Amino acid sequence: MFSWDLLANAIVAGILLGGFYAAVSLGVSLTFGLLDVVNIAHPAFVILGAYVAYVMNSSFGLDPILTGVLFTPLFYVVGAGVYRVYYASFERRGEESLRGLVFFFGLLFIIEVALSLKYGVDYRLVEAVYIGKSIDLGGVGIAFRLLVPCLVGLAMTLALYLFLSRTFYGRAVMGVSQDQMALRLMGANPIRIKTIAFGIGIAAASLSGALLITISPVVPSTDRDYIGRVFAITVLGGLGSIGGTLVASIILGVAESLMATLFGPSWSLAVSFGILLLALAVRPAGLFGR
């Protein structure tokens, strides 16, 4: 039996989910798309952010998204530190690509296992006033637990876009991605710029983790589902394109939501990876690639 209501609901939920996916993928767009650092550990930092939100929420009753915002400076410092280690061990020696990839894969694994050692493999969730409420727009329900993360995701996208196009440091990041040597000749230090950009990427990851735990409960191994999603979105959107990331996120959100509604949720994960494989095989430059 086919119902238009169901379809409309699935599409709206997909668009809202897309706004959240954009938040998760922004950091990868920045680090992988612009800096060429294959930060495959990005989803692990998302989950770390989600657990920080969980801990603050369950012990102090702090709002998860507020926690996410409050902790961004800490994650910025962590991210900057990770980049420094990565730079000293791989980039400076000129063997970044494959060994660097293994480094981040190991990092992902360490974070995941450490979280499951500390908090076990039970699903963790947060409580906030807007979770569980929804508004009804002519048969289409909009859940606040999806709407709020979507709005925050859109705000993050806009902020990153403005940062990259309007500020000095943002333009310097764009400069690093195009020509490091030229930037060096202009008197800027590319390593410092990259450290800043990587820190921002990890800070964005932690904030999107707070959004994640607002949407649904989280276990340490949730990061695996997001590896495919974030890279599918970054590749599909075109590496380093912030607008492309948003468009690709919404495409993926709607596709997954439709798949889950029509064929059952166990298939929805295959959508992102299918899109990723297809995008890589057919058009590696993505929709808005340079």
Partner 1 sequence: MRTARAVLVGIGVIGLGLLLAGVRVNPYMYFAGYVVLQYVIIASAWNILGGYAGYVNFGTPAFFALGAYTAIFLMEALGAPLPVMILAGGLVAGLLGLGIGYLTLRLKGVFFSIATFALSVVVQTLIINWDFVGGAKGYTVIRPPAPFFGSWGVLLFVVMVTLAVVTVLVARSVERSWIGRGLAALRDNEEAAECMGVPTLRLKLFATTLSGFFLGVAGAPFPYYVTYVEPASAFDLNYAVNALAMPMIGGTTTWVGPVIGAVLLGTAQQVATVTISSELNLLIVGVVLVLFVVLAPEGIVGLARRLRSR
Give the binding site for partner 1 (CB under 8 A). Answer: 38, 40, 85, 89, 95, 97-99, 101-103, 105-107, 109-110, 113-114, 116-117, 221, 224-225, 227-228, 231-232, 235, 266-267, 269-270, 273-274, 276-277, 280-281, 284
Q: Which is nearer to partner 1, 215 or 275 (CB)?
A: 275
- Identity of the residue, 144 or 273, whose beta carbon is nearer to partner 1 in the bound complex: 273
Residues 6+ apart with CB under 8 A from 181: none
| Chain position carrying tokens 């169901």 | 6
Least CB distance to partner 1 at residue 205 (A): 17
The least distance separating partner 1 from the CB of residue 27, rounded to whole angstroms, comes to 16
Largest CA distance in the chain: 65
Q: Nearest approach, Cβ of 233 to partner 1 (angstroms)?
A: 12
Q: Where are the beta strands (DSSP E) in the chain?
A: 134-137, 140-143
Angle at Cα 164 formed by Cα 179 and Cα 65, nearest 5°?
135
The dihedral formed by the CA atoms of 22, 25, 31 and 35, expressed in degrees to the nearest 10:
-60
Q: How many helices (H) and strands (E) does the chain have?
A: 11, 2
Q: Which residues pair with 124 in a beta bridge?
A: 218
Q: How far is the CB of 207 from partner 1 (least distance, A)?
A: 24
| Residue closer to partner 1, measured from CB, 159 or 278 | 278
Q: Least distance (Å) from partner 1 to the CB of residue 56?
A: 24
